[in-house]
A and B are shown apart, each in its own frame.
Chain A
Amino acid sequence: SAVISQKPSRDICQRGTSLTIQCQVDSQVTMMFWYRQQPGQSLTLIATANQGSEATYESGFVIDKFPISRPNLTFSTLTVSNMSPEDSSIYLCSVGGTLTDTQYFGPGTRLTVL
């Protein structure tokens, strides 16, 4: 299994600002995933980030709102741009998902937008 860390663990932000969340993995991985988990809800995939290519976004999520970087095989960032209270959520980074493996999750970043 992979060990995944995220920064920050939590933050409180003002409406209209942006926050960048960092995800660090202890091993090289091809694919990294970003999920959103709203309070009491399930996990919703935001995008898939492959190193060396543009992230692939799921329906309802756009690059302008959630730009993603993937500079190498152990690191990725997700930015939540021009935040509104509706963006208050837990944002989770995960790795894995190949046909012979499963997904492992980071501890999450709890974001509150005022």
Chain B
Amino acid sequence: QQQVKQSPQSLIVQKGGISIINCAYENTAFDYFPWYQQFPGKGPALLIAIRPDVSEKKEGRFTISFNKSAKQFSLHIMDSQPGDSATYFCAARGTNTGNQFYFGTGTSLTVIP
């Protein structure tokens, strides 16, 4: 059973556009939601994270929007750049999952110059 569902599987955006990746979860005990960015041949790197006590977190061009009632959260990349082309994973961890993180299936983002 996939604990965190991520969409779309792939995304192509023009340079300067907005990239939006969505994730949904079922476990209401999840209380920490990070996003990871992975370039080919590299391990995933933490990009931005949010806890459910806020509805939005912004760091530079990257914003997480969080909807607790809908159990959904999304990553918005503003002014997308070719250097943002990578695979993005959402994840979740909760008080009843110990230290285990559950990852989405990933979104391959391509930003066209």
Contact = CB atoms under 8 A, between A and B. Distances in A.
Contacts, number: 49
Nearest to B44: A105
Interface size on A, as a range, is 20 to 34
Main SS class of interface, B: loop
Interface string A60-101: 000000000000000000000000000000001010011100
A102 B100 contact: no
Nearest to A93: B43
B34 interface: yes
Contacts of B32: 99, 102
Contacts of B106: 40-42
B101 interface: yes
B44 to A, nearest CB: 5
A45 to B, nearest CB: 6
A45 B102 CA distance: 9
Contacts of A14: none
Interface in A8-59: 31, 33, 40-43, 45, 48
A105 B45 contact: yes
Contacts of B95: 99
B105 interface: yes
B93 interface: yes
Given A41-B106, A103-B101, 8 more contacts: A40-B106, A42-B89, A43-B103, A98-B99, A104-B46, A107-B42, A107-B43, A108-B42
Interface of A: 1, 4, 31, 33, 40-43, 45, 48, 92, 94, 97-99, 102-108, 110
5 contacts: A41-B106, A43-B89, A48-B100, A98-B99, A108-B41
